[in-house]
Amino acid sequence: MMTKLLLARWIGVAAMWLVFSYSFTDPNLTLVNHSLYVSLQEWLWQHLFANKQLLTTLFFLFVFILFFLYFSSIKKYEKILGYPIVLVGIFILLTLSYPALSHDIFNYIFNAKIVWVYQKNPHEVAALSFPDDVWTRFMHNTHTPAPYGYGWTLISLAPFSLGLSKFMPTFFLFKFFSFFSYISFFVLFTKKVTLSRYTLLFLLNPLVLIEILSSAHNDLWMMLPAVGAIMLLMKNRLSKKNSILALLLLTVSISIKLVTVVLLPIYLLRLAVEHWNHPLRSLYMQSLPLFSSLILFLPLMTERSQQFLPWYLAWSLCWLPLFAYIQHPVLKKLGIYWSTVLITFSASSLFRYLPWIYENGYSPEIQLQQRLITWIPGLIACVLICMHWAHQRQTTAS
């Protein structure tokens, strides 16, 4: 009964987010011309979008409630995973929401249009090269060519071609394309990984739900082949076929976004220890998810990621389900510590949006506030973890 009530609350919050998210709809964009939708959209613009204090307060409450439900679900993970249809329903509600916190989906769509309709290379020409196209009205980044890899450009042609150059079908096809990347992770971990709390630590993480399902970022398309490659490398014996397949998957991942090139040293070292009979070989194989998560966190601290763009945290979070493979006590403890740090950052990264929503801009002052909101809780978590570790060491020694 308690599990069903918890899932009902998830559905209720997801449905409310679905409505709330359309408060952020760009004034230059009318998704549906039906009178009921137009009336609702105008009401949301007048009473929420124009009232930044109320909009910011409601967003804060949404994030707070989502994390409350998240932690409640982790405690009941076995029962929650017994309702996959309900979980998929929650995911669909979030997918149908408006990408309130990002305009990147419009760039994905238009870059595919540059290829499909205009027969140009979006990596060489920007959206501003097509000033008469009405789809540029609700894009925010029109002055730079596509920042993604050619792999993503190729993949994005699939949902665009199915949309038949009509905006509404194309928009929701791209949304559900992101939903498919999320469900692919769900299926991958359900079939290949011993289900544990770590599974839901990733799949129900509010940052992942909002950034991947609602904002429809393409990062899980990059991470899906990367995680698949590392899972192949974790096998006790690495056949030639699996080593080639792992390299192919990493190549696909890198072609979507270059950042996963940092996983290549992990791949090369795994090849090097294949015929090594030392106990450290087994230890290294167990540590692959942890190393992968740690190494993909490092790019988040660079200026290019603006220290850091919240959805980039999915690069590190998506390895959490594989922590279930870790058996060594020291590595297991490190996995617990690191997952705590990541969850803290996932919360602070969503709260990072508060000054942007309130001020409706990205001035240097707002960017500074965002960085402080993101990093201070994460650094506090790191300090507390170090203190806890030191205390345990002292207790053990005495």
Which residues, other chains included, contact 341 with Cβ-Cβ below 8 Å and sequence gap of 6+?
Answer: 378, 381, 382, 385
Sign of CA dihedral 383, 385, 388, 392: negative
pTM for the whole thing?
0.93
Measured at the alpha carbon of residue 84, what is the angle toward residues 79 and 88, in degrees to the nearest 5?
135
Q: Backbone dihedral region of 252: left (phi > 0), alpha (psi from -120 to 50 degrees) or beta?
A: alpha
**Both tokens assigned to 72:** 């409640």
Tally of CB atoms within 10 A around 347: 21
pLDDT in tens, the chain (398 residues): 688 999 999 999 999 999 999 999 988 888 888 888 888 899 999 988 889 999 999 999 999 999 999 999 998 888 888 888 999 999 999 999 999 999 999 999 999 999 999 999 999 999 999 988 989 888 888 888 998 999 999 999 999 999 988 999 999 999 999 999 999 987 877 665 666 788 889 999 999 999 999 999 999 999 999 999 999 999 888 889 999 999 999 999 999 999 999 999 999 999 888 878 777 788 888 899 999 999 999 988 877 666 678 999 999 999 999 998 888 898 999 999 999 999 999 999 999 999 999 988 788 889 889 989 999 998 898 888 888 777 777 776 66
